[in-house]
Amino acid sequence: MVIQFFDHTFIPDEASQPQGDGALLVPVESLPDGWFDQPPRLLAVEVDGVPRVFTGGGRLSYSDSKAGTEEFAGWSYWERDASFDCRPGAAYVNLVVLAPGYDVANWPS
Mean pLDDT of 3-13: 87
pLDDT digits (tens, 9 = 90+) for 23-73: 999 999 988 887 878 889 988 888 778 888 889 989 999 888 888 888 899
Q: What is the dihedral of CA 5, 35, 40, 101, to 10 degrees?
A: 60
Between 87 and 105, the higher pLDDT residue: 105
For the cut 60, the answer to whether the pLDDT of residue 87 exceeds it is no
pTM: 0.81
Average pLDDT, the chain: 82
% of the chain exceeding 70 in pLDDT: 84
Q: CA–CA distance from 9 to each of 2, 67, 75, 82 (Å)?
A: 16, 28, 15, 24
- Enumerate the H helices of 1-109 as residue ranges: none
Rounded to whole angstroms, the Cα distance separating 44 from 31 reads 12
